[in-house]
Amino acid sequence: MIRVLSRRLLGAIPVLLVLVLVVFILQKVAPVDPVAALVGAKASPAVYAAARHTLGLDQPFPVQFFHYVVHALHGNLGQSTVTRTPVAADIGRYLPVTLELVFMAMIFVVAIGFFLGLATAQGWRGSGVLRVVMVSGASVPVFLACLLGMLIFYRWLNVLPISGQTSFYDAPTGPTHFLLIDSLLAGRLDVFADDLDHLVLPAFCLALTPAVAVGRVLRSSLEATLRADHTRTARAKGLGEKRILIVHALRNSLGPVLALMGLQVAAMVGNAILVELIFARPGIGLFVAQAIDVGDFNAIAGVTLVMGVLYVVANIIVDALQSVADPRVAL
């Protein structure tokens, strides 16, 4: 596992460099002139040139790129062209809200995905219906899931809130910025429960498509393992089906599922933007959606970098887990 981790961490460096390079190029391509955005369109040429020099934009591109990488490594992602606040500070404030959402969604993905996979692989009663649900579930755009979720759980059943992160104005704001953790640290169980309440529906909507995908892959992977020789041996020994499934088949079927979950994180961080926009959760998704509206490219670039890093890290974790589930992967 350590070997896999170290190898993957080294391999991530060029990937992250490509990410930074892409974002850097996009910033150069963007039609917004950062100098004009800073000094205004009517600034005199001298002021303009001075600002250009302070921003380092009069230097050759490779030098600019080098500075960009160094700044990014120091956590300096530039200034929002609209609010004039450092992008990194904004992201630091909003990111925990998004991470809470994605973690919660991950729990749903695992729970629902494993339920679907096990139920259909074993042919439980009614699993034929589940298979249809699985094909259609993969086709539902996340915003349709959100809209229907709002109609069902708020309008008709009125059991879940649909807007924001918490309804408490005096909710604790530190020290970790994860409201679930902060509220527990502050001993505010009411805030904790309220936050969970606000989290369930968005997380479920975000989890729907990946959960279905996990279920499909787990099913086909389980079916292959259940036909393998060692399963037949286990059966010949007289073990019960449940024990064969849990002890002998499940772990061996996890490889493809874990690989898929790593890939699904990409869709999830993208979809989190829509979910946060619809449910008005103050995370980096809502932040970037607003940045798109006003054309604040520094903010968009910052969020792209952060989401890219999250994705790469998530996949390194997945690789490590894979080598735990199946030690042959580490070879």
Partner 1 sequence: MAISEPYVPPSLARSRSRAELAIQQYFQGTSVSSYVAFSALALMFFVAIFAKVIAPYDPLVPAGQPMTGPSFHNLLGTDTAGRDELSRVLVGMQTSWFGALAVVASGVIIGGLIGLIAGAAGGWIDAILMRVTDAFLALPGPVLALAVVAAIGPSFIHTLFGVAIVWWPLYTRIVRAEVRKLRASPHVDAARVGGASRWRLLRRHLLPGAVPVTIVTASLDIAALVLILASLSFLGLGAPQPAPELGSMSAQGVTYIFNDWWIPVMPAAAVALIAIVANFAGDAIRDRIRDR
3-state secondary structure of 123: coil
Pair of tokens at residue 225: 């393992």
CB 292 within 8 A of CB 285: no
CB burial of 291-312 (b: ≥16 within 10 Å; e: otherwise) equals beeeebbbbbbbbbbbbbbbbb
Residues numbered 67 to 86 that lie near partner 1 (CB under 8 A) are none
- By the rule CB under 8 A, 60 interacts with partner 1: no
- The single residue among 14, 60, 62, 126 that binds partner 1, judged by CB under 8 A, is 14
* CB-based contacts of 255, cutoff 8 Å, min separation 6: 221, 322, 325, 326, 329
Cα 325 to Cα 309: distance, rounded to the nearest angstrom? 24
Burial class (CB in 10 A: 0-12, 13-18, 19+), 287: buried
Told to check if 324 binds partner 1 by CB under 8 A, we report: no
Give residues 263-282 in contact with partner 1 (rule: CB under 8 A).
265-267, 269-271, 273-274, 277-278
44 binds partner 1 (CB under 8 A): no
201 touches partner 1 by CB under 8 A: no
Pick from 77, 297, 318, 319 the residue near partner 1 by CB under 8 A: 297
Instruction: Report the residue number, 206 or 244, with the smaller CB distance to partner 1.
Output: 206
57 or 151: whose CB is closer to partner 1?
151
86, β-bridge pairs: 79
Residues in region 211-240 near partner 1 by CB under 8 A: none
Is residue 307 at the binding interface for partner 1, with CB under 8 A as the rule? yes
> In whole angstroms, what is the distance from residue 50 CA to residue 57 CA?
10
| 1 makes contact with partner 1 (CB under 8 A) | no
Q: Judged by CB under 8 A, which stretch of 38-46, 130-138, 224-232, 246-254 contacts partner 1? A: 130-138
27 binds partner 1 (CB under 8 A): yes
Task: Tell me which of 3, 6, 9, 18 binds partner 1, using CB under 8 A.
Answer: 18
Question: Binding of partner 1 at residue 65 (CB under 8 A)?
Answer: no
Binding span for partner 1 by CB under 8 A among 14-22, 109-117, 168-176, 246-254: 14-22
Q: Which tokens in the block code for residue 66?
A: 């080098």
Show the CA angle centred on residue 19, arms to residues 106 and 101, nearest 5°.
20
Phi, psi angle pair for 57, to nearest 5°: -85, -5
Q: Identify whether the C-beta of residue 109 lies closer than 8 Å to the C-beta of residue 214.
A: yes
Nearest to 179, CA basis, from 108, 97, 106: 97
The least CB distance from residue 129 to partner 1, in Å, is 16
Residue 45 in the binding site for partner 1 (CB under 8 A): no
Question: Where along the sequence are the contacts to partner 1 (CB under 8 A)?
Answer: 12, 14-15, 18-19, 22-23, 26-27, 29-31, 135-136, 138-144, 147-148, 150-151, 155, 265-267, 269-271, 273-274, 277-278, 288-289, 291-293, 295, 297, 300-301, 304, 307-308, 311-312, 315
